[in-house]
Amino acid sequence: MYVFTPPAQASLAVAGSADRFPVRRIFCVGRNYAAHAREMGNDPDREAPFFFTKPADAALDTPCTVPYPPLTENLHYEIELVLAVGKGGSDIAEKDVLEHLWGASVGVDLTRRDLQAEAKKMGRPWDWAKAFDKSAPIAPIVPIEQVPSVETGRIWLAVNGETRQDADLSDLIWSVREHVSILSRAMELAAGDIIMTGTPAGVGAVTPGDVITGGVDGIGTLEVTIGARL
């Protein structure tokens, strides 16, 4: 018996189905495209992959409208390939990673960039910059057997029809097989985990009224409208 009614299970739509994918945790890979690492002032050739998290209920279906969040004057988009774990495990070998995936999608890691910059300067965690409400809009998840590849394919984002990010999954510093295997050494992965795999160069700010579109070839597309300030 709970002392109050627990919140609904966080979940995401499944492409072509009325079923839902239950979300357990959201892991995000930082600086996983060389050009983006450089535009953020970092050396991509020296850093092992690192991870941060968002709460499960930060995920929401697209198309959607996301209110401009509080505490920021510099809200940024980051388009990302999204992986959905269907089979858990620890110390997963690179060769076995794809067997642990239920599906794949495309999402936007919304970031309060000014808060992130302040956290970096002061050596503090990124939570307030990354883990706010509705910060992970994600397109319907495509079952992995219907996905042509999670290792190659165009990934792109546009704001109001103007292309801002345009790269290929093959540009990942740490491939899907590599970074999922590395993540599984630190945390036991479980069914329902979501992994956002990093963003290419071209990140930038959006304001209320802007419409973000993006996609990964062969996997899906999304649309996110930035709403009024909270």
Residue 92 belongs to some domain of the structure:
yes
DSSP 111-132: EEHHHHHHHHHHT--SHHHHSS
Residue 1 belongs to some domain of the structure:
no
DSSP E strand stretches across 57-201: 59-61, 64-68, 75-77, 79-85, 101-108, 111-112, 136-138, 142-143, 154-159, 162-168, 194-196
Query: Per the structure block, which two tokens stand in for 140?
Result: 């319907």
d(CA 220, CA 106): 6
Return mean pLDDT, the chain.
95
Residue 5 belongs to some domain of the structure:
no
Q: Which domain holds residue 43?
A: 11-229
CATH number at residue 15: 3.90.850.10
Do you know the residue count of the chain? 230
Confidence band, pLDDT 50/70/90 cuts, at residue 119: very high
Residue 6 belongs to some domain of the structure:
no
Instruction: Please name every residue paired with 168 in a beta bridge, in sequence order, or none if there are none.
Output: 154
User: Has residue 113 got a pLDDT over 80?
Assistant: yes
Confidence band, pLDDT 50/70/90 cuts, at residue 96: very high
Q: What are phi and psi for residue 209, nearest 5 degrees?
A: 100, -20
d(CA 201, CA 198): 10
Residue 214 belongs to some domain of the structure:
yes
Number of domains in the chain: 1
| Predicted confidence (pLDDT) per residue in 197-213, tens digit | 999 999 999 999 999 99
Residue 2 belongs to some domain of the structure:
no
Residue 186 belongs to some domain of the structure:
yes
| Predicted confidence (pLDDT) per residue in 28-84, tens digit | 998 888 765 666 666 666 578 889 999 999 999 999 999 999 999 999 999 999 999
Residue 16 belongs to some domain of the structure:
yes
| Predicted confidence (pLDDT) per residue in 139-182, tens digit | 999 999 999 999 999 999 999 999 999 999 999 989 999 999 99
Whether residue 29 contacts residue 179, with contact meaning beta carbons closer than 8 Å, is answered with: yes
